Structure 1
Amino acid sequence: MPYGLGLERTANRLAAPNPLWGRAFEEEAARIRAAAGPDVLAIEHYGSTSVPGLCAKPIIDLLVGVADLSVADLHAPTMLALGYDDSGNGGVDGHRIFGKGAARTHLAHFVVHGGAEWVATLRFRDMLRADAGLCTAYEQLKSRLVAEHPADRAAYTAGKSEFILAALA
């Protein structure tokens, strides 16, 4: 897969940091911007692939800022045309998620630009980028969760919640 991306939907696996993940984000963000036009107010790279030096599931997370989540509904056909499928909120309140590929390479999370989800998500990303100790602790937690839940993405994600909330407190 290009840029070392791709993970089966239920699988959990961490990959070594790849300096090409930033390029993979830029290319996909440009495709979404071109297709969705001015309804997309901003797109940010977030998640572990956006943090240099951090092991990550090999899936690029895109935070797509829109004025209202109804904009995501309007652009569902656009995202389908770009090769995504509609994952609803994927169990994440305040998100509308589109996933690309049978082996996921990208997840586009539409959220309200400037809203609580937008702010908290980018704040946590920036904290990881700035604090090596926090980054190391997060990677250790993720490694443990992958070992405990190699085929349960929901349990893996839920296991990170307390850590993230504590960091943001």
Structure 2
Amino acid sequence: MRKTKILAWTDDWGKSYCQEEKVLEEVFREELVDIFHIGSTSIPTIGYAKPIIDILIVVKDIENVDLYNNEMLELGYEPKGENGIAGRRYFQKGKDNRTHHLHIFQVESEHIKNHLDFKEYLIKNTEEAKKYGELKINLAKQFPNEHHKYQNGKQQFVNELADKAKEWSSERRFPC
């Protein structure tokens, strides 16, 4: 059973990302366009997060990512296909004790911008980030052994943040 563990934000998550980035750049070098640290572990202002490093990779051709599944398995990543999001390739590392989530999209996918805008919005809007961190702590205390209830409990707030990030991003690009 997967437990929900929330920890205080630490610089160690950035270091872990950097180590993994080098490995993944080597694996996907023929397809790689860009790579980013995303998710709560990339946002110091959030204060708290699950200790799982989320990584976003942008590739030239999403179909070619499947050719790397065996190499990713050797690195401990479990290929999950689209895993509910069309046009994505998703990998998990660490089984029930996850350490990394890898989200791969083809260049120009709207999901890339959405993830990056969400991150930037929370970095710039510290009060929103803190609310999100506090929600994570409260839900983890409430549902320590029911990860799906933890996820469901934060979904509406995440959706609201995503909408705010999208609006914030469009206002930044086209100020009046």
Q: TM-score, normalised by structure 2?
A: 0.81
Distance in structure 1 (CA, Å) of the matches to 2:59 and 2:152: 26
Distance in structure 1 (CA, Å) of the matches to 2:107 and 2:138: 33
Percent sequence identity over aligned pairs: 31
In structure 2, relative to structure 1, the CA distance for the partners of 1:58 and 1:154 (3 Å cut) is same
Where do 1:46-85 residues align within 5 Å?
46-53=38-45, 54-85=47-78
| 1:12 and 2:34 aligned | no
| 1:24 and 2:13 aligned | no
| 1:107 and 2:107 aligned | no
CA drift of 1:27 comes to 0.9
Q: Secondary structure of the equivalent of 1:150?
A: coil
For the pair shown, the structure with the greater C-alpha radius of gyration is 2
Supply the AA of the counterpart residue of 1:34.
E
Supply the AA of the counterpart residue of 1:52.
P
1:59 and 1:106 in contact (8 A); partners too = yes
**Number of the residue aligned with 1:6:** none
CA drift of 1:164 comes to 2.4
Structure 2: state its 5+ residue gaps: 164-176
Supply the AA of the counterpart residue of 2:108.
G
**Number of the residue aligned with 2:159:** 165
Task: Pick one of 22, 28, 36 that aligns with 1:44.
Answer: 36
Q: Secondary structure of the equivalent of 2:14?
A: helix
**Number of the residue aligned with 1:98:** 91
2:48 and 2:134 in contact (8 A); partners too = no
Task: Pick one of 139, 148, 157 that aligns with 1:154.
Answer: 148
Q: Secondary structure of the equivalent of 1:151?
A: coil
State the Cα deviation string for residues 47-71 of structure 1 (Å, max 9, x = none).
1100114211011111111234313
Q: Secondary structure of the equivalent of 1:109?
A: strand
State the Cα deviation string for residues 39-98 of structure 1 (Å, max 9, x = none).
021110011100114211011111111234313212212211222112333444543211
Supply the AA of the counterpart residue of 2:90.
I
Q: Report the count of equivalent residues.
A: 161
Structure 1: state its 5+ residue gaps: 1-8
2:38 and 2:56 in contact (8 A); partners too = yes
Q: TM-score, normalised by structure 1?
A: 0.84
In structure 2, relative to structure 1, the CA distance for the partners of 1:18 and 1:32 (3 Å cut) is same
